[in-house]
Each structure stands twice: as structure tokens, then as C-alpha cells.
């Protein structure tokens, strides 16, 4: 990737000092978009702005510029370098007009084009975050240069065309229609959105009625491909959307600011969803083919509310630069879970945050690539890498701790003050702290420094002494932490709950709960003295963000009684603690499998069970040595199959246990006939049957002919992608060689096809099949970085890093680990984002070997 594509914070700050009050009129001509031979489209931008300097530049990534003028004078096309168009000399008031040919994309960014193999319909949609608006129109591509946008689209007349604002004019011209959309309120370039194609549509309306008698009507809409229409669960999606609009209206103090609220589900999307004002884009994997469990719908509800909260956190009040990414993503992550818990029929928001989402944060926060929540983002490449578990899940967890620290009512009062002060503006950490301090009456500067400006997790450990009768003679909580960036010790202020449980009368009961405020390294809990406590759970209500541990006695109790812990949230926290111990090499994956075998089978909360079956597969596939993997997988597959047989047909419980089968059956073929019966069962969702087929392919139990038969019953885009992954998942060196060739020979792959091949390459968890490619992998790293886009390059680096096994060497001598470390030592001058990506791939492999050592 060229240096011109990268944007630095320093140069964007300088541009912001020159450019003021931009206004855009954007025209996009999609007349020939359905023609597969058409590789580009015409984009026209008319931009007016004020200037207080002599020169600046426009961002544009185009195949060619057909014409460009500044204040009526031609701009020399030779000055365009493929990413930047210089603008000089500037006047106090300026008008720029640029007509360019921009490429249709198949990588999920810019203007993505997709043709449905089922009906040959062509669909287009945009994804611009963080800086890909320049792939569709010329612009000042940075979040603080907010502007008004007016979009006009020329497209085939039968198509549906949508943008951020409602259409205000349509004019049919032969076989095309020119649609002009209303001008947007002030917003950032990355939030401009467009969807065009023969989308299936449905609509609704929501009326917000406030206590003061005022009303607001909001038009709602849903769009998806024609061939996905039967899976569009409009009643549930609209219901959650309305519940969210009511909640945010009541708690944020600023009326929904973007007019309409439409949501479009699109194919080959790189992420889960994107908060484009008035036109939220969604990965269509959230349209569950063949039915969904209550937990899946709850997860979708959380994402609906995450994206909706962005209409305020991020879209209305926007971070000044990408070092403030957390200002929007952390809040949105928290709101997704909190509002789902408070306002919808899905009650497990806090459970899913504790046991599911936060694992992402704990994993990434213990890597050498971790960073403070308020990160240093010198340029665009660094910005792209910080859409991670730190900016999202850790940020959300620390905001939950802040809400616990100051009180929920004061927390929302601070949010209302923040929006009132900074609506349609750009914000920094100081702006948020000022609002929260004003609402809470607390000085939060030191709190924020400890939580948001340092890296690495806190570690909270119970230190307990028990008498011979089992009662506690001393209990304290110890805190330690190391800032992974500076290497310095860090102590943070924590407010959380400690719960004590005892086995009484043949059952496990909670005997006491203590609120704890911990600011130092160690805090004694004298109230616990004399109590019988077989199990001590730190952070029992998941109020703070910390890696926790069980003492030896508590671990022994959990192994026998974990399923009896109440409430559900504390049980989820206990499972999270066990999983963290496995991930960190403090608990054998074999022990975790034993606990899974006895306690997960008794789990009654569907959200917890959904995560546990994922943990079971990861414990065997990643943290169990290959020498023991097949035997352990066979044991757990048998348990899952027995639970499937006992569950009510069609029930959520049965579907969840089938997912457990699918995750584990890729590592053992001992139950292949039963797995195959499930894979061909028409009473299971289509996508779940593909997961089972993939596992059968990974063990060699199904041939390509078997997969061909499966594809014949689902010859769709999703089915073809699943088929590609399953074919790539087959065992053997020859298969992996072919996958490697397909990924690296320069073939033009869509983002979904690339992801499928990469996923297949890493199955069936055979290190021997992938390690032969390691020398070529190291040789290709810089080439991938220089020739692929950053997103695809990172996928290749992470996905083609070889699997590792303890049989090939311990963490200090393993040939793959030592080879990667040597590459890092020899390439310290590599682009920082490339270097960090290799570091992260290495850290994941090191963690796997460390955990296998504990086995």
C-alpha cells in the first residue's frame, strides 16, 4: 500500500486549520453497474469550503480523473498521485469540482458490488469507515471536518436506492432514474452511505410520545436481497428498533437527529454492522437461514442497540481523530448490552458481556500488541488496527465500572450534558470527562488516567485462610497489574462485589455478598471471618474489568457445583474465570473439559450454554496437544450428541448442542455416522448443517462428492462460500498446498471467499499440514502488505500463520515461534501496522503452546 494512501494525524490537524465549513454535492452514476464488464462508475463531487491558508489537498482513490477544477481553473491531472489531489492556490471561499472514474469493489469497502448467483441480481452498498469514502467521491477524509452532504444517484429504474436522508426528488430518464436525497445534518465523511439494487423492502413507523406531550415520528425501513427476504425477521427487528428509540430518547436528552431509520442487510460484509446515520448497514449473516435461537436473536438485538446508540455516540458527537475511536465504540458496546437488558425481551445482556464479549478484551489486553483505551494513533494504518477488543469490549467494561463508580443516573446525566454541549461537533477525552464530572460531582481525572490511559488488565486474586471446619479465618483481595506499554506497575480503583458460597444440605447456597472498594494492592474483608465458604467469586456481578482467579478450594468446589451457582450472572463470571485460567495456562484444558462434561450439561441459561459449547471446541482444538485431541474431542462429541438426543426436537437447547457437535466433530471421526445424519437433517437450519458438513470434511469422513451433494441443495451465495470452506478444510498436505496457492497466486477473490479459504486452511487443527508453508509465509509478508489492502493483508497474515503443537517444541524452542521472533528482530523497520500484525499472530501461537504445556 502506498504512502499516499496513509494519512497522518499531524497532516490532518494541519488541514483542519486551513479548511472550514465544507459542503458537498455528490453525484454517482450507476447506470451500468449490473454489467459485469463494467469495472468502474462515474463520480462527480462539487465541494465548497472556506480556507485560511494557501493550499491543501483532496482525498480520492480513483482509476482516473476525467476533470478537476478549483475556483473555475483546471487542476493539472499530473499532480494526482492516486490518493491525493493538491488544491492551490486557495481563496477565502473555494469551489472544487471533480469528475472521476472510481472502481467497483469486491472487498467490502468503498462501493462494494455483488451479483447474486441465484437470480443474477446485482446489489451495491458502501462501507467507508475509517477512510474509504474517498473510494466513491473526492473529500477531506478525516472525522473532524464535518460537512453537509447532498447525494444524487443515477440507477436503473427498477432499483431501490437509499442514502442517509430521504429522497426529495426522482426523475425518470429512459431506463434510469435520477434520485436526489435531502441534505444531511453535519456529519463526517465516513458516515455517508449508499445502497442500490433490487432490494426487497419493508417499512414501518414509530411514534415517540414524551411526558411533556411532544411527539416524534420516525419512518423505519428494512432492506435485503430478494433471495434473503424469507429470512428477514421484520417483526423482531422492528420491535427491538422501537424499544431502542424509546430508551435513547428518554435517557440521552436529544431527540433522534437523523430523520428516518433504515437498516439494510448486505452480502460479503466485512464487519457486523455500521452506524451510517439513517441507513445502518448489516452483515446479512444476522438473517438466520432456517431459524434462530433466542440467544441468537438476543445477540442481534444487542447489535441493533449498539448501532443505534452510535446515532448519538459517534454520529452526533464525533471523535476529533481516531485516537478517540473508543469515545464511540466503547459507549456503543456498553449500550448494546445494557439496553438489551433493560428494554427488550432478551434478558441476558450482562451475561453475554461477561462471558462472551469481554473474552475478546481479556485476550487482546494480555498480548504485547495491547494499548491504552485512549490510544496513540499517529496515522490511518494504526487507526484501522484499533477496531479491536480494547476499543470495544475493554472500553465498554471500564464504562460499566465508571457507571458503578458514579451511579447509573449520574452516568446518563453526564451523557446528556455531553450531547447537549457537543451536538454535531467533534470531541476529545477532556470533553467527556468534563461532562461526567459535572454530572457526578467527582474529580475523574485520576480515575480516567488509571483506566483509560494505561494498558493491560488488572488481576484480582482472593487470598483466603480456612480453618479445619472450613470456615474463613482471613480473606483479602489482592490487586496487581502491569502496564504492558511502559512496564510499570499499575493499581486502579475498583468497585465490585465478592460473593461467598457454601455447600449446605446437598446444594450450593450463597451465604454472603460484600460490596468492595479496592484502591490499593491489598484489601482485607473482615466481614468474611467465621463464615463457611467453599467458593469465593470475585467480581461476582461483573462490575469491573479484571482477570480473576479461583483459590484452590474454590476451584475444587466449582468443578463439582458450578451449575448450581445463582444468579446467572455470577455463574457466567465463574465460567469466565475458569476459561481465563485455561487461556493463560493456569488451568489444564483437560480439567476444563472435565468441568464441561459434568457442569455444562446441567446449564439452564441458553446464553451461557451457547458460549460454553464454543469454549469446549476451543479448549480441545487450540489448547489440547494433538496427541490427546482426538480422544478428548470424541469424548465431548459423545456428550453433545447425547444431549441432542435428549432435547426436544426444534428446541433452542437442541440447536445449541448441535452447534457443540459441529465445533468438536472436526477433531474426531468416531461419531461420523451420527454427525452425517445431522448434517443431512432437514429440520436443522441450513447454515448449521453446513457447519456439520465442514466438520465431516475436516476429518475426511466426507468427500468432495458429499460436499457437492450438500451444495446441490443450497446453491446460494452463502452455500457456495460454505462449500469453499469445507473443501479447504479437508485434511492432508496436498489440500493445504492447493489452498495456499489459491490464496497467494494473485487470483481475484472476494472478501468472503478469502475468509472461507483461510478458515479452511486452519482445519483440522493439524500443525503438520500448515507448517511446511512457513518459510514461504515469512517471505511473503512484506509483499502482501505492499500489494493487498490493509484489511486483506491482515487477514492473510493472521490466517496463514501455521498452527503449532507442543510436540514440535516448547515455547522457547518451537521452530515456528522462533522463526517469527527472528523475523520481528530482523524487520524492526517494517511498517508499524505490519509489525504489529505479525506480533499478534505470534502471541496467539505462543498462548496456544503455553496452554498445551499446562495440559
In order, the DSSP letters of 561-607 are HGGG-SSHHHHHHHHHHHHHHHHTTSS-HHHHHHHHHHHGGG---HH
Sheet holding 160-163, edge to edge: 110-115, 122-127, 194-197, 160-163
Cα-flanking dihedrals φ and ψ of residue 617, to 5°? -70, -40
From the CB of residue 648, how many other CB atoms can be counted at a distance below 10 Å? 8
The residue assigned the cell 467521491 is 137
Contact, 153 vs 196, CB < 8 A? yes
- Kindly report whether the peptide bond that precedes residue 706 is cis, defined as omega within 30 degrees of 0: no
Contact, 407 vs 415, CB < 8 A? no
Catalytic site positions? 307
Contact, 135 vs 109, CB < 8 A? yes
The kind and range of the H/E element at 318 are strand 318-319
758 is written with which cell numbers?
483461510
How many angstroms separate the CA atoms of 802 and 489, rounded?
34
From the CB of residue 275, how many other CB atoms can be counted at a distance below 10 Å? 23
Q: Which residues contact 435 (CB under 8 A, 6 or more apart)?
A: 414, 415, 417, 418, 421
63 is written with which cell numbers?
482509476
Contact, 365 vs 456, CB < 8 A? yes
From the CB of residue 651, how many other CB atoms can be counted at a distance below 10 Å? 12
Contact, 202 vs 180, CB < 8 A? no
- Pick from 353, 344, 413: nearest CA to 542: 353
What does the angle CA 539 – CA 541 – CA 543 come to, to the nearest 5 degrees?
70
Q: Which residues contact 584 (CB under 8 A, 6 or more apart)?
A: 366, 547, 847, 850, 851
| DSSP assigned state of 286 | G
How many angstroms separate the CA atoms of 322 and 307, rounded?
18
Please state, in angstroms and as integers, the Cα–Cα distance from residue 835 to each residue in 1, 6, 402, 796, 819, following that order: 14, 16, 34, 14, 14
The residue assigned the cell 464479549 is 357
* 818: β partners: none
The residue assigned the cell 462471558 is 355
How many angstroms separate the CA atoms of 108 and 126, rounded?
8
Contact, 328 vs 391, CB < 8 A? no
Bridge-based pairing state of the strands 535-538 and 494-504: antiparallel
How many angstroms separate the CA atoms of 21 and 19, rounded?
7
How many angstroms separate the CA atoms of 693 and 701, rounded?
9
How many angstroms separate the CA atoms of 566 and 574, rounded?
11
How many angstroms separate the CA atoms of 486 and 517, rounded?
26
How many angstroms separate the CA atoms of 332 and 399, rounded?
10
How many angstroms separate the CA atoms of 644 and 622, rounded?
24
- Pick from 651, 648, 613, 653: nearest CA to 633: 613
In order, the DSSP letters of 78-97 are GG--SSEEEE-S--SEEEEE
How many angstroms separate the CA atoms of 756 and 690, rounded?
12
Q: Is 470 left (phi over 0), alpha (psi -120 to 50) or beta?
A: left
Amino acid at each position: 500500500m502506498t504512502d499516499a494512501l496513509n494519512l497522518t494525524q499531524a497532516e490532518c490537524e494541519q488541514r483542519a486549520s486551513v479548511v472550514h465549513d465544507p459542503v458537498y454535492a455528490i453525484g454517482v452514476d450507476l447506470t451500468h453497474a449490473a454489467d459485469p464488464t463494467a469495472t468502474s462508475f462515474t463520480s462527480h463531487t462539487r465541494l465548497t469550503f472556506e480556507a485560511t491558508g494557501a493550499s491543501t489537498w483532496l482525498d480520492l482513490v480513483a482509476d482516473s480523473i476525467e476533470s478537476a477544477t478549483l475556483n473555475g481553473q483546471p487542476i493539472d491531472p499530473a499532480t494526482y498521485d492516486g490518493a491525493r489531489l493538491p488544491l492551490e492556490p486557495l481563496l477565502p471561499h473555494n469551489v472544487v469540482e471533480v469528475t472521476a472514474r472510481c472502481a467497483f469493489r469486491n472487498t467490502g469497502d468503498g462501493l462494494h458490488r455483488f451479483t447474486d448467483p441465484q437470480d443474477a441480481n446485482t446489489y451495491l452498498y458502501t462501507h467507508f469507515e475509517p477512510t474509504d469514502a474517498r473510494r466513491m467521491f473526492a473529500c477531506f477524509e478525516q472525522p473532524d471536518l464535518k460537512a453537509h452532504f447532498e447525494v444524487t444517484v443515477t440507477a436503473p429504474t427498477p432499483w431501490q436506492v437509499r442514502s442517509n436522508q430521504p429522497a426529495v426528488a426522482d426523475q425518470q430518464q429512459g431506463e434510469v432514474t435520477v434520485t436526489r436525497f435531502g441534505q444531511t445534518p453535519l456529519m463526517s465523511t465516513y458516515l455517508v452511505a449508499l445502497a442500490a439494487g433490487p432490494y426487497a423492502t419493508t417499512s414501518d413507523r414509530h411514534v415517540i410520545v414524551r411526558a411533556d406531550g411532544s411527539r416524534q415520528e420516525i419512518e423505519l425501513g428494512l432492506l435485503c436481497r430478494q433471495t434473503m427476504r424469507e429470512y428477514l425477521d421484520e417483526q423482531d427487528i422492528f420491535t427491538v428498533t422501537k424499544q431502542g428509540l424509546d430508551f435513547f430518547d428518554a435517557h440521552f436528552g436529544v431527540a433522534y437527529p437523523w430523520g428516518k431509520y433504515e437498516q439494510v442487510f448486505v452480502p460479503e460484509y466485512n464487519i457486523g454492522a455500521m452506524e451510517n446515520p439513517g441507513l445502518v448497514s448489516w452483515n446479512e449473516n444476522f438473517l438466520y437461514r432456517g431459524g434462530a435461537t433466542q440467544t441468537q436473536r438476543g445477540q442481534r438485538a444487542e447489535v441493533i442497540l449498539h448501532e443505534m446508540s452510535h446515532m448519538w455516540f459517534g454520529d452526533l458527537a464525533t471523535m476529533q481523530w481516531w485516537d478517540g475511536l473508543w469515545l464511540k465504540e466503547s459507549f456503543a458496546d456498553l449500550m448494546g448490552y445494557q439496553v438489551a437488558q433493560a428494554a427488550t425481551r432478551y434478558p441476558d445482556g450482562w451475561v453475554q458481556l461477561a462471558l462472551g464479549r469481554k473474552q475478546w478484551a481479556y485476550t487482546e489486553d494480555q498480548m504485547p500488541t495491547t494499548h491504552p483505551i485512549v490510544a496513540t494513533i499517529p496515522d490511518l494504518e494504526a487507526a484501522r488496527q484499533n477496531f479491536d477488543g480494547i476499543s470495544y469490549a475493554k472500553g465498554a467494561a471500564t464504562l460499566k465500572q465508571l457507571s458503578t463508580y458514579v451511579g447509573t443516573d449520574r452516568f446518563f446525566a453526564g451523557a446528556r450534558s455531553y450531547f447537549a454541549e457537543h451536538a454535531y461537533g467533534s470531541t476529545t477525552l477532556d470533553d467527556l470527562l468534563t461532562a461526567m464530572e459535572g454530572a457526578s460531582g467527582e474529580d475523574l481525572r485520576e480515575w480516567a488516567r488509571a483506566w483509560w490511559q494505561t494498558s493491560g488488565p488488572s488481576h484480582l486474586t482472593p487470598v483466603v485462610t480456612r480453618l479445619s471446619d472450613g470456615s474463613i479465618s482471613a480473606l483479602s483481595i489482592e490487586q496487581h497489574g502491569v502496564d504492558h506499554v511502559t512496564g510499570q506497575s499499575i493499581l486502579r480503583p475498583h468497585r465490585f462485589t465478592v460473593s461467598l458460597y457454601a455447600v449446605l444440605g446437598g446444594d450450593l447456597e450463597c451465604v454472603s455478598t460484600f460490596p468492595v472498594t479496592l484502591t490499593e494492592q491489598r484489601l482485607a474483608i473482615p466481614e468474611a471471618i467465621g463464615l463457611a465458604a467453599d467458593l469465593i467469586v470475585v467480581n461476582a456481578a461483573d462490575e469491573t474489568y479484571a482477570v480473576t482467579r479461583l483459590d484452590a478450594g474454590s476451584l475444587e468446589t466449582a468443578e463439582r457445583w458450578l451449575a448450581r451457582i445463582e444468579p446467572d450472572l455470577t455463574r457466567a463470571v465463574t465460567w469466565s474465570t475458569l476459561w481465563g485460567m485455561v487461556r493463560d495456562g493456569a488451568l489444564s484444558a483437560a480439567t476444563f473439559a472435565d468441568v464441561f462434561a459434568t457442569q455444562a450439561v446441567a446449564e439452564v441459561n441458553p446464553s451461557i450454554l451457547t458460549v460454553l459449547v464454543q469454549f469446549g471446541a476451543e479448549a480441545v482444538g487450540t489448547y489440547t496437544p494433538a496427541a490427546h485431541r482426538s480422544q478428548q474431542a470424541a469424548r465431548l462429541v459423545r456428550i453433545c450428541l447425547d444431549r441432542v438426543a435428549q432435547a426436544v426436537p426444534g428446541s433452542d437447547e437442541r440447536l445449541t448442542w448441535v452447534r457443540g457437535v459441529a465445533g468438536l466433530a472436526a477433531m474426531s471421526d468416531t461419531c461420523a455416522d451420527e454427525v452425517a445424519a445431522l448434517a443431512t437433517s432437514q429440520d436443522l437450519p441450513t447454515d448449521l448443517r453446513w457447519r456439520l458438513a465442514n466438520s465431516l470434511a475436516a476429518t475426511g469422513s466426507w468427500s468432495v462428492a458429499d460436499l457437492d451433494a450438500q451444495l446441490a441443495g443450497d446453491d446460494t451465495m452463502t452455500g457456495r462460500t460454505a462449500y469453499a470452506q469445507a473443501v479447504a478444510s479437508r485434511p492432508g498436505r496436498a489440500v493445504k498446498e492447493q489452498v495456499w496457492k489459491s490464496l497467494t497466486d494473485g487470483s481475484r477473490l472476494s472478501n468472503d471467499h478469502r475468509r472461507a479459504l483461510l478458515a479452511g486452511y486452519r482445519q483440522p487443527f493439524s500443525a503438520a499440514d500448515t507448517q511446511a508453508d512457513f518459510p514461504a509465509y515469512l517471505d511473503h509478508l512484506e509483499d502482501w502488505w505492499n500489494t493487498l489492502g490493509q484489511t486483506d493483508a491482515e487477514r492473510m497474515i493472521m490466517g496463514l500463520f501455521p498452527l503449532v503443537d507442543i510436540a514440535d517444541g516448547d515455547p522457547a524452542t518451537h521452530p515456528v515461534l522462533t522463526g517469527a521472533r527472528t523475523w520481528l528482530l530482523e524487520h524492526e523497520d517494517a511498517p508499524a501496522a505490519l509489525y504489529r500484525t505479525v506480533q499478534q499472530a505470534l502471541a496467539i501461537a505462543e498462548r496456544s503452546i503455553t496452554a498445551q504445556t499446562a495440559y
